[in-house]
Amino acid sequence: MGCAVAEGLSRRWTDVFLVEKNPKLGMATSSRNSGVIHSGIYYPKGSWKARLCVAGNRLTKEFCLRHGVAHRTTGKLVVAQDAGETAELLALKKKGEDNGVTGLRLIDAAEIRRQEPHVQGHAALEVPSTGICSAEELVHAFARVAEGQGANLVNHATVVRMEPRKDSVRVTLRIGDKEKSEEETIEARCVVNSAGLYADEVAGMLGPRPWKIYPVRGEYCEIRGARAELIRNLVYPLPHHDQLTLGVHFTKTLWGTTLVGPTARYVDGKENYERGRLSIAEFAADAKTMLPEIEERDLQLGYTGLRPKLKAPGEKGIADFVIEADREVPQVIQLVGIESPGLTAAAAIAGRVGELVGEVLVNTNR
């Protein structure tokens, strides 16, 4: 997100700095996801997630085309397992249409078989605008373009303190490795907090703030070789209300492998990517509902990612993205809870951030 924001801001302003605590950009959530360019069917009408996903779907594809980022508009199927689930498919179709997603169509079991010969289902919602991209390439392309427009990208720079001044924020950075680090400060007219899993902690540097991020791990398995052909494109189950996510699904990658996952489980730390992973047997059992031919031996463990959830374990409902000027220190723009569809929405979120930054700079007469 930081790279997309830096790209957007550096189109309008000259003194943009992107600071990243890791040695390289895009090592956290932005490169540990499914790479799906979502359409926007799932989110409540009028929410940031709905609006910025629908806009982001178009903007991301345009950006990928313009800057040579590997991507493909694949379409996807959301599959109902029995007649009882058809009403949910229709409700999802209506929700998508309300959000402005076009081309949605209900298909029957025969059409599912024609499109995805190995997938079992009673009916499905066809979503033609869904796509897939190389998330890593996308992050680096945003960074490259931002740099070309004059943005300064600084790695190994951890924000450790923020002190509000009248019309600015004094940001203290720890530069370098822990052992050999030194502190530097930047006087910023405006700061955008897009620290992902740590956005609550960065926001908290200004004083108590209402957000707490709970890391929810998504784990993947991968099907490689000939068996990856069991899936041609993107196939999802219906998202059920008690689930934290869209459900374990199948994603044919740009490299011809098939991802199974991601799962969803609250974990005890923001760096806990691997401890206590699900077994391949558990993945296979889950995957068999839609893909009966899948066997345990077809799967190998893949990577994981951590979602920055704003809902505590057991809390119901969907939290929207937080995209706002801080209520007490408006020269800090807070981006908190940027979970899926954050990759898709990044370019559109960057547009909204540009508007907010513009307001800050006008209000401080610069």
Ligand X SMILES: Cc1cc2nc3c(=O)[nH]c(=O)nc-3n(C[C@H](O)[C@H](O)[C@H](O)COP(=O)(O)OP(=O)(O)OC[C@H]3O[C@@H](n4cnc5c(N)ncnc54)[C@H](O)[C@@H]3O)c2cc1C
Binding site for ligand X (CB under 6 A): 1-2, 19-22, 27-30, 32-36, 38, 158-159, 194-198, 202, 218, 262, 305-307, 338-344
Phi, psi of 236 (to 5 degrees): -120, 150
Which residues does residue 309 pair with via DSSP β-bridges, in sequence order?
A: 214
User: 116 or 219: whose CB is closer to ligand X?
Assistant: 219
User: 208 or 225: whose CB is closer to ligand X?
Assistant: 208
Which residues does residue 236 pair with via DSSP β-bridges, in sequence order?
A: 78
Using the Cα atoms of residue 298, residue 301, residue 302 and residue 306 in order, give the sign of their dihedral.
positive
Q: How far apart are CA 195 and CA 293, in angstroms?
A: 41
Short-list 314, 311, 300, CA closest to 261: 300
Distances (CA, A) of 265 to 44, 253, 268, 313: 23, 23, 10, 9
Is the preceding omega at residue 117 within 30 degrees of 0, hence cis?
no
CB atoms near residue 155 (< 10 Å) = 14
Q: How far apart are CA 42 and CA 50, in angstroms?
A: 7
Task: Write the burial class of residue 97 (CB in 10 Å: 0-12 exposed, 13-18 middle, 19+ buried).
Answer: middle
Name the closest residue to ligand X (Cβ). 342
CB 73 within 8 A of CB 61: yes
Q: How far is the CB of 21 from ligand X (least distance, A)?
A: 4
The token pair that represents 173 in the structure block: 């950075």
Q: How far is the CB of 136 from ligand X (least distance, A)?
A: 11
CB 75 within 8 A of CB 127: yes
Q: How far is the CB of 194 from ligand X (least distance, A)?
A: 5
Q: How far is the CB of 56 from ligand X (least distance, A)?
A: 8
Q: How far apart are CA 249 and CA 239, in angstroms?
A: 10
Q: How far is the CB of 292 from ligand X (least distance, A)?
A: 25
Phi, psi of 126 (to 5 degrees): -90, 130
Q: How far is the CB of 60 from ligand X (least distance, A)?
A: 8
Using DSSP bridges, classify how beta strands 17-19 and 152-154 pair: parallel, antiparallel or unpaired.
parallel
The token pair that represents 20 in the structure block: 């990243």
Q: How far is the CB of 38 from ligand X (least distance, A)?
A: 5
Q: How far is the CB of 300 from ligand X (least distance, A)?
A: 17
Q: How far is the CB of 35 from ligand X (least distance, A)?
A: 6
User: 8 or 218: whose CB is closer to ligand X?
Assistant: 218
